[in-house]
Amino acid sequence: MSVLSEMLVNLLRKPFTILYPTEKVPIPDSFRGRVAITDEKCIGCSKCSLVCPPQAITMVANLREVEFKGKVLVRKKKPQVKVFRCIRCGLCQRHCPTGAIIVVPELSRTGTDREVVVT
């Protein structure tokens, strides 16, 4: 196909790009995206923070009561994730004993502040 005919064919095609974020990007179910934490399930054990390869998870002070295996526990810490440091490896999810931290198939929020955290 000559360059000219290829140009003409492409002029009649729909664009391959989409107007993100106005248009949503299709995301497969197995996509490892944003890390999400459910505070009510977290027992503050720090396992997620210990296994995180890029040290994106910091345990921060947070006094609260959590129900775990029929008992009410008083917890003093909870994890915070630095979004821009996370490599979406999923190890935190794999090692969390309560399912409190999961990697959801959603795109991370954007921003220019390196210290932005999700909780």
Query: Under the rule (CB under 6 A), what is the footprint of ligand SF4?
Result: 35, 37, 42-48, 51-54, 56-57, 79, 81, 86-92, 96-98, 100-101, 103
CB of 25 to ligand SF4, least distance (A): 20
Q: Provide, rounded to whole angstroms, the least separation between the CB of residue 5 and ligand SF4.
A: 48
**How big, in percent rounded to 5, are the helix, strand and coil portions of the chain?**
15, 25, 55
Residue 82 CB, nearest approach to ligand SF4 (Å): 8
Instruction: Look up residue 62 and give its DSSP letter.
Output: E
Q: Which is nearer to ligand SF4, 10 or 55 (CB)?
A: 55
Minimum distance of ligand SF4 from residue 32's CB (angstroms): 7
Place of tokens 């220019």: 112
Strands laid side by side in the 117-118 sheet = 57-68, 71-82, 117-118
Kindly tell me which of 90 and 111 has the beta carbon lying closer to ligand SF4.
90
Report the C-alpha gap between 57 and 90 in whole angstroms: 12
Q: Which is nearer to ligand SF4, 19 or 82 (CB)?
A: 82
Q: Which of 85, 81, 90 is nearest to 59 (CA)?
A: 81
